Every structure is written in C-alpha cells, then in structure tokens.
Structure 1
Amino acid sequence: MAWSIADYRTQYAKADSLCQEVQSFKNAAGIPAINELRNAGHHFLKAIDDTGGLASQAELDAAVAHARRAIYEATEAGIVSALAAVRKFRNDYATVQVSGVIPDYVKRLTSCSAAKRLIENNREDTFDRAQDHADRVTVFRDLRTFVDDLDNGRDDVNKVVADDRKQTRRFTTQIVMGVLAIIITICFGIWASTGYKGFTPSSGSSNLSSPVNSADAG
C-alpha cells in the first residue's frame, strides 16, 4: 500500500500520543517505541524534498511502517507493565477475599490471561508489527483501567485485612479463655474431691480442743 504524507502525519501523531499515554502509566513506554518514532522521523525526512513534496515513496512507506511499529512497541510495554502490576496486587493479597471490593475482579483476571496470550502470540516472527494495532491499544487501556481500580481499591482491601485480623484475634482470645476456664474447672474439681474433703485435724490439735474431765483433774 502506498501511503500519503497525510497518512504519515496521522500514524505518527497516533503513535506519539500513545507513547506519551503509556509513559504516563508506570513510566512504561520503553526504548523500543521511542526508537521506532525516531526511525519514523528519519525516514520521513528522507521521503520529502526541500519544498516539502514527496521525493521517495519507499521512504515514506518506511516512515509509516515505523510509526505503526512504535504503536506495537508502546502497547507491548504498557501491557507487560500492567500485567506485572496485577501480579503484584495478587501476591500482596493472595489470602484475601478481593472480589467483594474490586468490581468484576475474577472476570478481569480472565482478561489478563487473554492479554498475556496476545503478547506471546504477537512475538512470533511471522507477526506483522507494522499492521494496525487498534486491538492491542484497546487491551492496554482496559488493563490500565483495571490497574487503576486495583490501586484505588487498596485502602478498602486493607480494611478487609484489618477486619479479618481483628476477628482472628477475637476468636483466638475466646478459645484461650475457654481452655483456661476448663482447666480451672478441672483443677477446682480435683481440689474439692481430694484436697478439701480429705483434710483432718492433727492429733495435737485434737487434744488441745478436747474438754478436761473433772475427775482426772482431781
């Protein structure tokens, strides 16, 4: 396909805007995307003459291809960074019930698996990185929104963690108090059946407390 200068301007502007968008997300645009933009500009300068007219269609086509590859590289970096952020969140709250806090949590995790497969498939040598990557842009933006929701939901998830810890401490305290009560009851029962009832005064004490016979006294 023979591209026009207007096509190049459109593709370059789209790529540049996306690189800035990805860069604002976790500083993740990456060197490959920036290099593709640089190459796009280099080929475009070779494609036009001093008057701004088209001097080489081949160079212009190369410029457009590099601009589209920049979109590929930017989405690659953005998706990988987003998946890493999701993975960190899952590790941080691996033992917490998160689905009640983050909307559509399980469904969106499934989307992450699909995004990972997309990245892996697009790395094949036969994949045309200069094609239109609108689907990859959509995947990146959906993941970015998911990561934003995860980050914004951390406070609420932390509250769930704190409540779970309180309940655990309360339950543990109740168990300990119950065990202590049983132990005390058993000890008291043993003392009452053997120690207290088996006590008898000593012989010396018995003699001291016996009344004196008047006949013996005489």
Structure 2
Amino acid sequence: MNIEKITELHTLFSRTENRIKSMEYDGEGLDIPAINELRYVGFHLLKYLISSSESELDKAVNHAKRAFYDACESSVVLHLSKIKEFEEKYQSVISISDVIKDYPDRRAKAEQARRFLQDSDRQDKVSFYAEAEQHLEILENLSLVLFASKGDLDAKIRDQRKQVRRWAIGIAVGGVSALLGLVTKQLGMW
C-alpha cells in the first residue's frame, strides 16, 4: 500500500471538502464539477483497493487534485461575484473608502484576481491553482471586511438621506416663506 499517495489523497480530499462546505455555507449551493471529481476519486480508490493497481491510485490522486482546483476556481468566481454585488449596492450611493480606509488597495487586489482568472494560461495547472489559491485568500478576506462594513455603510447612507431631507425641507420652507412675503407685499398687507 502506497501510504504517501494515500496521505496526499486524504489531504486533497479534506481541502476540497472544506472548500465545498464553505461555498455551501455561504448559501451558494454545491460545486458540482468538484463533487463529480470526488466521485471519480472514490471510484478509482475502490478499484485500487480491489486490484492494488498503482495506476488506479494515481488516477484517484489526479481526480482529487482536479476537484480541489475546481473548488478553488469556483470559490474565486463566487467571491468576485459577491464583491461586484456589494459595489453595485453601495458604490454609487456612498464612498466605500470612508468606512473601509484601505478599500482602493483591496479592490485593486480583487481586480488582479479577476484578471488572473480571465487572462491566465492554464497549461501549468499546479502553478495556476497555487496562485488562484493565493488570490482566493485575499478575496475571502475582502468579502469578510465588506460584510462586516455593511452596517456602517448603511448608517452613513441613512445619515446622508436625513441631511438631504433636512436640506430639501429647509429649501421648501424658505421658498414658501419668500413666496408668502412677496404675496403679502403685493397685497399691501405689510
């Protein structure tokens, strides 16, 4: 029995399972490509256990790698989508960097991740997914910061709206007062 490969398989399987669970907990459903790859892991692992064929164990490990890669890529896409949704809600209404001071730097890193996915040559899958995993850590952190900042941003928006209402009421009262003054002057009441 090849303990080294089985340990690698276990590690990959656990990491993939954690990534899939994370997406599931975020309410985004299941990562079907990664789950399909895990099915193949089980299939080839069983064939290995029955036949002791190293090639079956190699296939199981390769499918486990692919499952992890798929789960990472899906997670990157998910976080980019959440960031875009956040920006669509807040960016046109309030300056996000008023609440998240380093937002421009964080946003630039998110853009780097988006471009990485869009422009990458995926021939060297190992290095591609190692870099994708780094981008994923940055995006997960940004998603957490954005989520944590929603309350402060919503409070600032409410304050802005109150100020606009006060300003509009002040203008309206001033306008009505001026109009009344003109009307009463014209009627000779003053």
TM-score by length of 1: 0.73
2:153 to 151, 157, 174: 157
Match of 2:131?
135
Letter in 2 for 1:89: F
Task: Provide the rounded CA distance (Å) in 1 between the counterparts of 2:156 and 2:96.
Answer: 9
TM-superposition CA deviations, 1:38-74 (whole Å, max 9, x none): 1122222223446xxxx33322222211111111111
More helix by share: 2
Change (3 A) 1:120 1:29: farther
For the pair shown, the structure with the greater C-alpha radius of gyration is 1
User: Tell me, what secondary structure is at the counterpart of 2:96?
Assistant: coil
- State the AA in 1 paired with 2:86: F
8 Å CA contact retained: 2:110, 2:138: no
Counterpart CA distance in 2 for 1:129 and 1:188 is 82
Q: Confirm or deny: 8 A CA contact 1:25 1:78 kept in the other structure.
A: no
CA RMSD, aligned part only? Answer: 2.6
> Match of 1:26, SS?
coil
How far apart, in 1, do the equivalents of 2:30 and 2:62 lie?
18
* Aligned residue runs from structure 1 range 1-218, under 5 A: 4-49=5-50, 55-93=52-90, 94-122=92-120, 126-129=122-125, 133-192=129-188
Change (3 A) 1:28 1:79: farther
User: Post-superposition shift, 1:29?
Assistant: 4.4
Does the Cα contact within 8 Å between 2:13 and 2:68 map onto a contact in 1? no
List runs of 5+ in structure 1 lacking aligned partners.
197-218
Q: Deviations over 1:130-164 (max 9, x none)?
A: 66733322322321222222222222111111111
Partner of 1:202: none
Question: Identity across aligned pairs (percent)?
Answer: 28
Q: SS in structure 1 opposite 2:98?
A: coil
Map Cα deviations across residues 104-141 of structure 1 (whole Å, 9 max, x no partner): 2222221221111222234x5x5344667333223223
State the shift of 1:85 in Å: 1.2
